């Protein structure tokens, strides 16, 4: 190996430092502009809930962004500005009253999931702003709050009727479905999911449904082999949702079937949706969801924060 003479090395090192400093200095001249527009309808929630949201989420999801000096140094400042822009677009606690009450609950439920999955607050941000960490206790505070505002009714007559009606229809159905419904992106309904292994169950208390997530053989093997990031080609998840019926003693059972959703892993086939084929079939009639093929944007937008987790929320129990 050729040895660089000491003098030349000093020169190059000096030149390198000077160039670096100049570039760094030049970068600071053109800075992104971040303003705080007026707060028009801040979320109304108990103080202990607000404290958590303010500390952990408001920098990007409100009009009360509090930039620290280190957020203002380029190139970091550009990344910060991009996060704030995107964060506010998707959810803004300062304009909370623009959302209908059901959508407010749905957004809060989404928040819990994003935190639970470790996707929010954004990881690089959390590393620097250590005070934004959401602890287990904070998460419980948020959950309890969402539970109190949802108000699940025991023996909900509407739900019981829906369940009974559906049962009658199924009982009287003359023949099984012969042709399989297909979503607009070409993903076909997979009837076999009922025989797959359940890998997780969740309860969506903001709208009173319960879900079971099933994995096909490829998924189950991947879990066993600890090969789940990325999930292998051929992995399929099915997520099934039913109404949640609560009796007078607080016991929970499934009510009417709502929908089943699929995610199929095939990097080559589903390039535009991060390697996953998404589909949702609603009601026992299995009506494909969406008006155009762009329905997948909705799926992707909610699953994208999980990009470090191959876009999957479910964490199978590790052993
Ligand atoms: C550093 C900025 C930043 C912070 C802090 C932050 N977020 Fe986000 N959030 C984002 C960005 C950027 C996205 C879009 C992510 C993407 O599309 O990949 C997002 C997306 C979301 C979404 C999905 C919204 C939708 O409609 O698709 C939710 C929910 C969310 N964040 C909740 C939270 C919660 C709750 C907190 C606090 C615990 C939080 N975020 C903290 C930047 C941030
Ligand atoms: C509002 C946010 C949101 C949207 C929109 C969304 N999902 Fe999900 N999805 C979730 C959450 C959260 C989970 C985790 C399971 C749970 O808590 O219900 C999940 C889980 C899943 C799973 C099980 C695998 C996993 O990632 O855990 C499938 C399959 C699925 N979604 C399909 C879809 C399809 C298909 C669409 C679009 C038609 C869609 N999702 C749209 C939030 C969303």
Q: Specify the CATH number for the domain of residue 191.
A: 3.50.70.20
Of all protein residues, whose CA lies closest to atom 11 belonging to ligand 1? Answer: 87
- Domain identity same for 164 and 256: yes
- Domain identity same for 301 and 209: yes
- Domain identity same for 175 and 304: yes
Residue 117 Cα to ligand 2 midpoint, Å, equals 12
Q: State the pLDDT at residue 2.
A: 67
Residue 104 Cα to ligand 1 midpoint, Å, equals 15
Q: State the pLDDT at residue 175.
A: 56
Candidates 311, 263, 260; CA nearest to 289 is: 260
Task: Determine if ligand 1 sits within 6 Å of the CB of residue 83.
Answer: yes
Which of 302, 304, 311 most suits a substitution to test ligand 2, by most atoms within 8 Å of the C-beta? 302
176 pLDDT band, cuts 50/70/90, is: low
Using the predicted structure, report yes or no on whether residue 1 has a pLDDT greater than 70.
no
- Residue 253 structural domain: 157-309
**Is residue 6 one of the residues assigned to a domain?**
no
- Domain identity same for 122 and 90: yes
210 pLDDT band, cuts 50/70/90, is: confident
Q: State the pLDDT at residue 55.
A: 96
- Domain identity same for 146 and 163: no
Residue 58, φ and ψ in degrees, nearest 5: -65, -25
Using the predicted structure, report yes or no on whether residue 182 has a pLDDT greater than 80.
yes
Domain boundary (135, 150, 165) is at 150
What is the average pLDDT value for the chain, to the nearest integer? Answer: 89
Which of 114, 118, 126, 313 most suits a substitution to test ligand 1, by most atoms within 8 Å of the C-beta? 114
Task: Determine if ligand 2 sits within 6 Å of the CB of residue 168.
Answer: no
- Domain identity same for 145 and 173: no
Percent with pLDDT over 90 in the chain: 58
Q: State the pLDDT at residue 156.
A: 85
Using the predicted structure, report yes or no on whether residue 319 has a pLDDT greater than 50.
no
Using the predicted structure, report yes or no on whether residue 318 has a pLDDT greater than 60.
no
**Is residue 11 one of the residues assigned to a domain?**
no
- Domain identity same for 286 and 163: yes
Task: Determine if ligand 1 sits within 6 Å of the CB of residue 43.
Answer: no
26 pLDDT band, cuts 50/70/90, is: confident
**Is residue 115 one of the residues assigned to a domain?**
yes
pLDDT digits (tens, 9 = 90+) for 226-268: 999 999 999 999 999 999 888 777 777 888 999 999 999 999 9
Domain boundary (150, 172, 202) is at 150
- Domain identity same for 165 and 97: no
- pTM, 2 dp: 0.74
Tell me the mean pLDDT in the region 92-111. Answer: 94
Q: State the pLDDT at residue 317.
A: 60
Task: Determine if ligand 2 sits within 6 Å of the CB of residue 125.
Answer: no
Tell me the mean pLDDT in the region 130-151. Answer: 90
- Domain identity same for 87 and 125: yes
**Is residue 316 one of the residues assigned to a domain?**
no
Ligand nearest to the CA of 311: 2
Tell me the mean pLDDT in the region 104-121. Answer: 92
Domain boundary (100, 115, 150) is at 150
Domain count of the fold of the chain: 2
- Domain identity same for 133 and 248: no
- Domain identity same for 216 and 118: no
Task: Determine if ligand 1 sits within 6 Å of the CB of residue 302.
Answer: yes
Residue 171 Cα to ligand 1 midpoint, Å, equals 45
Task: Determine if ligand 2 sits within 6 Å of the CB of residue 313.
Answer: yes
Tell me the mean pLDDT in the region 26-47. Answer: 88
**Is residue 41 one of the residues assigned to a domain?**
no
Ligand nearest to the CA of 304: 1
Task: Determine if ligand 2 sits within 6 Å of the CB of residue 231.
Answer: no
- Domain identity same for 137 and 216: no
Using the predicted structure, report yes or no on whether residue 77 has a pLDDT greater than 60.
yes
Of all protein residues, whose CA lies closest to atom 20 belonging to ligand 1? Answer: 87
């Amino acid at each position: 190996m050729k040895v660089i003479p000491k003098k030349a090395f000093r020169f190059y090192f000096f030149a390198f430092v000077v160039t670096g400093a100049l570039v760094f200095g030049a970068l600071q001249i053109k800075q992104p502009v971040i303003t705080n527009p007026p707060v028009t309808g801040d979320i109304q929630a108990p103080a202990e809930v607000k404290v958590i949201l303010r500390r952990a989420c408001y920098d990007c999801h409100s009009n009360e962004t509090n930039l620290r000096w280190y957020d203002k140094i380029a190139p970091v400042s550009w990344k910060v500005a991009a996060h704030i822009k995107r964060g506010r677009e998707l959810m803004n606690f300062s304009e909370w009253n623009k959302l209908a009450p059901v959508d407010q609950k749905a957004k809060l439920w989404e928040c819990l999931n994003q935190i639970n999955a470790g996707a929010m607050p954004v990881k690089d941000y959390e590393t620097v702003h250590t005070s934004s960490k959401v602890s287990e206790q904070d998460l419980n505070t948020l959950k309890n709050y969402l539970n109190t505002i949802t108000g699940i009714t025991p023996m909900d007559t509407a739900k019981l009727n829906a369940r009974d009606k559906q049962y009658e229809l199924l009982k009287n159905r003359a023949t099984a479905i012969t042709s399989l419904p297909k979503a607009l992106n070409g993903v076909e309904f997979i009837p076999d999911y009922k025989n797959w292994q359940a890998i997780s169950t969740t309860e969506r208390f903001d709208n009173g449904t319960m879900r079971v997530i099933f994995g096909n053989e490829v998924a189950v093997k991947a879990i066993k082999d600890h090969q789940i990031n990325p999930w292998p080609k051929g992995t399929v998840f099915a997520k099934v949702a039913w109404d949640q019926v609560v009796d007078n003693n607080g016991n929970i059972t499934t009510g009417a079937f709502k929908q089943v959703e699929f995610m199929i892993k095939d990097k080559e086939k589903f390039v535009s949706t991060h390697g996953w084929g998404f589909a949702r079939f609603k009601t026992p009639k299995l009506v494909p969801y969406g008006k155009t093929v762009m329905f997948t944007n909705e799926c992707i937008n909610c699953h994208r924060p999980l990009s470090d987790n191959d876009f999957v929320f479910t964490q199978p129990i590790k052993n």
